[in-house]
Structure 1
Amino acid sequence: MPVRHLDFYTSQKNLISIQPLSILKDIRLGIDGNVWLKKIVSMAASEQYLAGIGGTPSCMRKVIEKELEGFKAASIHPLFVFSGLALIRKDKPYVNDDAKIAKRNAAWDAVNSGKMELALSSWSTSYVHLPDLIHLVFRILKENNIDYIRAPYGAGAQLVYLERNPKQIIHAVFAGSELLMFDVDRVITSIDFVKQTFSVISKKAVLQDLMLSDDQFLDLCILAGFDHCPTFPPLSAEGAFAFKSIHELLQQHRTGFNAVKAYADSPQVKSNYVDLFCRTRCAMRHQPILTDEGHIEPMNVAQAPSDIHEFIGYRLPEEVYYYISRGIITEATLNTMLCGYSAEFSPLCNGETMEYRTFLTTDIMKMKAQTLALMKAQLHSAYDRKISIVYWFEGNSAPEHVIKADSAPVSVEAISHWKSGKQSVEKELKKTGIASPDFSFCLRLVANASDASATVLADSAEKPAALSTLADVQTRHLSKLLQLRSFITSSHAPSPYGKAVLDAFKGQPSASTEFQDPLVIALELVRASLLTSRPYSHNYTKKQVLSDEVATKAVRLIARTTSLISARFTGVKSWAGPLSRDLLAFNSINKVLTRNLRHLGEALLLEMLLVNECQKEALDFTELATHLPFAHEPSTVQGILVKEYLETLTLNAANNNTLNKDQAVQQVEEHIGATSLSSLTHSVKEELQRGFVFWSIVCEAVKSLGASNAISKEAAQEFVEANNWVKSRKI
């Protein structure tokens, strides 16, 4: 967040200058990616339904591409800098979502009462978690040949270094007003491509107006409160806080440290606030940056203290910071490892089902154990520390849940016996006609027992040659990921789950490329007994729509399954149609699984790079990063469309009002409304057809699992019964 009330102060004092955009022509503009991304999300704020359907904003790609067109038209050359690791907190994370949960419940009560305007006002606050968008953002920037990096820590410090660099890597900075805490002359805080203007704040003007020195201004901002430090407690009351009161306090005591010490005995001041103030101040002066020579060093290195680990944690190898900068690994897992805590906050559905909570404390915890084991495998023993998880539903007084390394279902050591097989990856890619390796491709390479055994490296064998092509690295990475998730065995043959993936696409080879990630997700959820026709412990549908229990179970299972794929949106208008909180509860499970599989894949790739399994000088790391799996999280819309269609068809038949399929589709279109229809790239009929194709693929995979006794007969039978019921109803 920005410095509290600083924007209001600069606006009130007319310290913001409006300039013509033409001034910025032909400059290289450094952009704080996080500040810019918040702007993008706010520009897509018309998607008020997002909190009710989950997923990512459907308008986001269009908004980003329009922004990039604006830069191009103005002849501005952007360099986006995104924040990396967080500064270390010494206290246990505070996880209290009571206010959010109450607000969401109020919104859903309004939905159930038909008061959509009231619900949308409750959802007006953005529920988008920016780190979940970063993979899609990187992919869009890469596709448009736009330069971007991730800073080792804060984007602000990195931008200041780039601007101050004698090589003039960038000429100006677009960021939030909080960048004024650093040694900068001015900050561009907004750009309006319609009006062809930009807003800029001069730090000199701000200091003159406040009559403060540069050091005093930094103290003022820290005491006012921002991302890394809360507002000074004696002056933090909501509604009563004024920037002026902090200013007066600083004028009285001359320095922030003096002001904090003067209140040290006050019951309002937490015992650790003095320490937090000092660490924050040091962080703003000496935050590590990535130099143009590829080294990591503190800002103002000559004056930096010897104990900066107090606010950044133990220093990581420079190679790791470089991979952060290229987007190979995002900050979530590294932050967990450095601070010793992982916090789980409530999902959009509020996470009230026992199934969701059990999934977090069992399967997801085991996946986190795998991820952390991969992270720690090649790092110093100092990182081999206790890691605990805190959950929103247990309260802050609950005991910590320690992630135990031995809980990982497949160990790091088990995936270390890979070498190149008999088949050439590039030749096989050309033969199959796919652009890059995917899960099915990797499984086909080892489907034959002889081919599988050829990839097993004996314990006594010499270390194999490093992988030299992008395709080889991607294939090895996906194969190891499949082994970690038990789709490939220790002998490198497909397990029953791996065979299920191969069997699923035999009848639908053309759908293979589109449905790789969703199918793996589906099978993970089948294994966890979460993709099922049974209702969850907390059922939000108080009265069943269909009176027939067989139909109800079939629709529930098919809708859950098809909601694993994304509906295709135009990116111009937003969904404003029917909602389903029960599907949102399933979507929350899908979301947490997708996110943790993504983190596992990142950690695995990092481990491969650190052990020199790849010829690094031959790789385009941004290309490698943007092709990592599980980058997208679907909304519930595809499942809602299928659910609406099947219920419409079945209800009319039950009332002796027989509709043909096209008539049922027409009724669905009338129900979801013109706005939602115009938000879809394809017709409702085409989306339904696509949903049923994916349903058939999953049914084939489950049939394969049932035949190999990898799942219970009851679990397999649920899909058989649902498929038999829907056969005559498919489009």
Structure 2
Amino acid sequence: MGSESLAFKEWVKSEGLQQSFPIDAGLKGREVAIEVEDYLNSLLTNSQTREPLLPALGGLPFALKDHIDKDLENFRQAGIIPIFVFSGLEIGCRDRKTISKESKKALDILDEAWSVYDLGRGDDAVVAFGKACTYRTSHIARYLMFYLAQQSVQVIVAPYSAAAQIAYLDEVGQTDCSFGSASILVFGVDQIITHFDWEAQRGYYVTQEAILHKLGYSKPQFVDLCLLSGSSILAIMPEVENDPTPSKLTAARAVLTRAGNNDGHTACLRANDTEYLDLFRKAKTAVQHMVIVSDKGEYKPLDPDNSPSDLHEVISHRLPDELMTWFHHGFIGSRVLNWRARSEIFETPPLDGGSSQAYKDLVQDKLRPMRTRCLAVLTKSLHRYYTKQDVNLVCWFNDNDKKALGLPDTPFSEVAKDAESWHVKDSLLNQASHVKNIDLNYSPIEYAITMLSDEATAKKTVTRRKDGEHSLITTQSELLSNILWRFLQDRGYINSDHTLSAWGKALMAAFERAISDKLLGTTSPPGEAEEAIFVAFELLRLDVLNSKPTFQQPPYTGAPMRGTDADKAHVNLISRVACLGTFKHHAIGYTGPLSRHLLAFHQVAAAVRNTLRDLTEVHACNMLLSASADRERENEYRTIASRMPFGKEPDLGLGLVVKSFLDEQSQDPSRRANIKNWFNHAEDIDGDLAKAWKMWAAINAGVQAADSAIVSSELKNTFQNADTWLQQKRQAAPITNGTNGA
């Protein structure tokens, strides 16, 4: 929606339809509904706030938190009460072909950007990367939701369209005005604020009446114009997209004029594009009957009395209201719910382009069992329709090859049998003296594993409920800890008697090394180190964390380039581990070296991390669906969800720092560069390297301690040889490149 929203606002301004008002006089004490997708897209694309190299780094924009804080402070000083409204599940007219086309467009831009960068045209590459800043940014919206909640800002997650939800809030008088895209006007709001100029203390808005007068349109005709020119619920019409006219609104208006009567349906018939015509019809129906959540918590269409019987073909198959309530509160994200409602997982290409066989194998085969498990845990408590309805896996590189997951063959009665042995209460948590110094909210994985490292305590946690018992879990600490134990047992770190498995003991060994190095419990963001260690173990189990030259050049430029093949292999492995941590960078756009090769691994790790988050969330929901936990938690859901692991995606910065540093160590001593000069806005290169070495040491300790039945001697040797090499290179670092090698 980013480019379409920006185009609409530019058109409004160019046509003189924009009006202004003094913020202090116009909005003081008012509640403003903010369409989050439009708000984020503005931050990511506006010349004053965008960070063009975001698609080359992944993670979050470095200045994102500062921009949000500044806006929240401006709202506070102006007396404005912001209500941030997030979009929910995908609707029917956002079909696979539409999503695939949008992905291909973004990847073409990114391919060109990398080509320009590889030619040494850095400034041109920055501009090129900046054209795809809104591709694959759902993790940024997730971060924003939890951050706003932590700042006590009101957040609403719409069941589907945020624009429709905002229109409902306006209709029932829950908000005073709306900020966002033209989609809000499409759903019937009379006027929208397009942007704020905080320096001038003025807001800018446009009314639907002014637009209709300018165009000479009726409201239905304006809706058609917005839909055909691209909106949050319908992709731009191909004929409009291919029109050379710079303004797509102008191009769409010309298409409507040629069709006669300025009617979108006639225009689609005239274009002889049956697929787009079907999507347009669905979008028109969605405008009238989009499902929203009412002020009473009911999920219903905008016009319930006249909704068609086949509305599920337009929106999606209905999920239980209880499940949608937890989605509304952020307890579960949209990914697995979309898969379940649409009966399809559609894998889109990653930021690096997705041409590597490693990534294709990962999403098509290696992650398939875990995703099937996610859906099984969720489905077991749903309507019988879903237990009989399979889910197909479809990947962008062969979208004609649908692979059914086999859910109807799942023995659902056995799916969460082990999970039902976890109903641990605070009374037991408080007795465990060996976890007294671990903050469950800060380091939940470390807490969960360490608690079970004492076998006597572990066996006490076997707490199957008796027949008829329910809502055994009542406090936040009980819910969070039991979620983590269910998740960890599902992943094989815990045995059926709740003692640590071989993988659990290896993970504990890694944590013990991290504790001795004062790594755990000290990083920012919270949980960074324990998540990095855990994800590394998961990557090892999937056979994707290694020293091999997995991503071939071309197109994956930026691989280790100094020294012998053995040197390069060591750099590969150690810098890949560093990709799992974060980079301390000033609140400004990144400048420095890039590596498509490292980005490819980063995207592999991101795919695994997201799937781990999915599995954590479905186990959380299963506790509520199965009546194991008290459901009357009101605002606690989002707090607990923000403390569950794998919610924040690291950027590539730390991997780039480590790769650059180690590459230089294989350079002739007289020619070694000080890498601090390459990362202009880094806060603490020495501190970042010190953290990376501790992360590496912890993971290597876990690998070396692992039972030979789960980690081969060959893999242990690979890690140990890399570690020996690293210690040798670090000893030379202080006199060669200006870092202390800590």
TM-score, scaled relative to structure 2: 0.88
Q: Does the aligned pair in 2 maintain the 1:174–1:189 contact within 8 Å?
A: yes
1:269 Cα deviation from its structure 2 partner: 2.1
The CA distance in 1 between the partners of 2:296 and 2:212, in whole Å, is 34
Counterpart residue type for residue 637 of structure 1: G
Match of 1:441 in 2: 447
| Mapped contact 2:22–2:201 kept (Cα < 8 A) | yes
* Correspondence 1:208 to 2:213: yes
**In 1, Cα distance between the equivalents of 2:593 and 2:175?**
47
| Between 40-49 and 615-624, the greater mean CA deviation after superposition | 40-49
1:161 paired residue among 165, 168, 185: 168
Q: Distance in 1 between matches of 2:41 and 2:94?
A: 27
Matched, 1:622 2:638: yes
1:222 matched to 2:223: no
Q: 1:715 to 1:198 in 2, by over 3 A?
A: same
CA shift for structure 1 position 381: 1.8
How far 1:246 sits from its partner (Å)? 4.2
Relative distance call for 1:333 and 1:178 in structure 2 (3 A) is same
Give the aligned partner of residue 687 of structure 2: 686
| 2:253 paired residue among 244, 251, 259 | 244
Change (3 A) 1:89 1:389: farther
Distance 2:709 2:234 in 1: 55
Q: Deviations for 1:24-64, whole angstroms, at most 9, x for unmatched residues?
A: 11111111111111112224754222222222211111111
1:511 aligns with 2:516: no
Task: Give the conservation status (yes or no) of the 8 Å contact 2:513–2:697.
Answer: no
CA contact (8 A) 1:366 1:408 kept: no
Aligned residue among 403, 419, 440 for 1:415: 419
Residue 154 of structure 1 and its aligned partner are, at CA, apart by 0.7
CA contact (8 A) 2:560 2:663 kept: no
Provide the C-alpha distance between the structure 1 equivalents of 2:466 and 2:542, rounded to a whole number of angstroms.
37
Distance 2:666 2:275 in 1: 63
| Residue of structure 2 equivalent to 1:470 | 476
State how far apart, in whole Å, the 1-side matches of 2:228 and 2:281 are. Answer: 11
In 1, Cα distance between the equivalents of 2:272 and 2:338?
A: 27
Q: Compute the displacement of 1:534 (Å).
A: 1.6
Instruction: State the percentage of identical aligned residues.
Output: 24
Work out whether 1:492 is the aligned partner of 2:531: no
Say what the alpha-carbon RMSD is for the aligned residues. Answer: 2.8
Deviates more, 1:83-92 or 1:610-619: 83-92
CA 1:184–1:516: 2 relative to 1, 3 Å: same
For residues 57-206 of structure 1, the aligned pairs below 5 Å read 57-89=61-93, 92-93=96-97, 95=100, 97-128=103-134, 129-165=136-172, 168-206=173-211
Deviation sequence 1:155-186 (CA, Å, 0-9, x none)? 11111111221xx3211111112211122221
- 2:628 corresponds to 1:610: no
Number of aligned positions between the proteins: 704
The structure 1 residue matched to 2:608, chosen from 593, 614, 619, is 593
Secondary structure of the structure 1 residue equivalent to 2:667: helix
Distance 1:326 1:86, change over 3 A: same
Corresponding letter in the other structure for 1:350: G
Instruction: After superposing the two structures, state which structure 1 stretch, 85-94 or 45-54, moved more.
Output: 85-94
Once residues 239 and 31 of structure 2 are traced to their aligned partners in structure 1, the CA distance between those partners, rounded to angstroms, is 43
Q: 1:373 aligns with which of 370, 373, 376?
A: 376
**What do residues 561-580 of structure 1 show as CA deviations (whole Å, max 9, x unaligned)?**
11210112232x23211122
Cα gap change, 1:428/1:192 in structure 2, threshold over 3 Å: closer, same or farther?
farther
User: What is the letter of the counterpart of residue 556 of structure 1?
Assistant: N
Provide the C-alpha distance between the structure 1 equivalents of 2:257 and 2:35, rounded to a whole number of angstroms. 31
Task: Give me the whole-angstrom Cα distance separating, in 1, the residues matched to 2:177 and 2:601.
Answer: 45
Taking structure 1 as the reference length, what is the TM-score of the superposition? Answer: 0.90
For 2:160, the aligned partner's letter is: Y
Whole-Å Cα distance in 1 between the matches of residues 654 and 411 of structure 2? 33
Residue 166 of structure 2 contacts residue 184 of structure 2 at CA under 8 Å; is this kept in 1? no
Matching residue within 31, 38, 44 for 2:41: 38
* Contact 1:469/1:618 (8 A) holds in 2: no
Structure 1 residue 458: Cα displacement:
5.5
Shift, 1:685, TM fit: 1.2
The match for 1:10 among 9, 12, 16 is 12
Which residues of 2 match residues 699-710 of structure 1 at below 5 A?
699-705=700-706, 707-710=707-710
Whether contact under 8 Å (2:5, 2:231) holds in the other structure is yes
Distance 1:254 1:113, change over 3 A: closer
Which residue of 2 is the match for residue 574 of structure 1?
Answer: 589
Distance of 1:20 and 1:163 partners within structure 2: 21
- TM superposition shift of 1:516: 1.2
Q: Which residue of 2 aligns with 1:401?
A: 403
**CA distance in 2 between partners of 1:552 and 1:254 (Å):** 62
Distance 1:92 1:127 in 2: 21
Answering whether residue 364 of structure 2 is matched by residue 361 of structure 1, we say: yes
**SS, match of residue 421 in structure 2:** coil
Deviation for aligned residue 1:199: 1.2
CA contact 2:423–2:472 (8 Å) conserved in 1: no
Deviation at 1:423, TM superposition (A): 6.0
Deviates more, 1:518-527 or 1:317-326: 317-326
Change (3 A) 1:721 1:170: same
**Equivalent AA in structure 2 for residue 67 of structure 1:** D
Task: Give the Å deviation of 1:719.
Answer: 0.6
- The Cα of 1:319 is off from its aligned counterpart by 1.2
1:229-378 correspondence runs (5 A): 229-232=234-237, 237-240=242-245, 242-248=251-257, 252-253=260-261, 255-257=263-265, 259=266, 264=269, 268-378=271-381
Which whole-Å deviations, capped at 9, do the CAs of 1:648-674 have from their partners, x for residues lacking one? 233234xxx4x9xxxx7x71113x1xx
Q: Residue in 2 aligned with 1:728?
A: 728
Q: Does 601-610 or 477-486 show the bigger shift? A: 601-610
Q: What residue in structure 2 maps to residue 53 of structure 1? A: 57
The reply to whether residue 24 of structure 1 matches residue 24 of structure 2 is: no
CA deviation profile, 1:382-419 (whole Å, cap 9, x unmatched): 2232222222222x4x3212223479999444423323
**Which residue in 1 is equivalent to 2:696?**
695
Q: 1:196 to 1:84 in 2, by over 3 A?
A: same
CA deviations over 1:502-546 (Å, ceiling 9, x no partner): 111223323223411111100011111211112115244599633
Cα 1:481/1:107, change in 2 over 3 Å: same
Q: Shift in Å at residue 90 of structure 1?
A: 8.8
Q: Which moved more, 1:117-126 or 1:211-220?
A: 211-220
- 93-102 or 175-184, which deviates more: 93-102
Following TM superposition, by how much is the alpha carbon of 1:350 offset from its aligned partner in structure 2, in angstroms? Answer: 1.6
Q: Any stretches of 5+ residues in structure 1 without a counterpart?
A: none
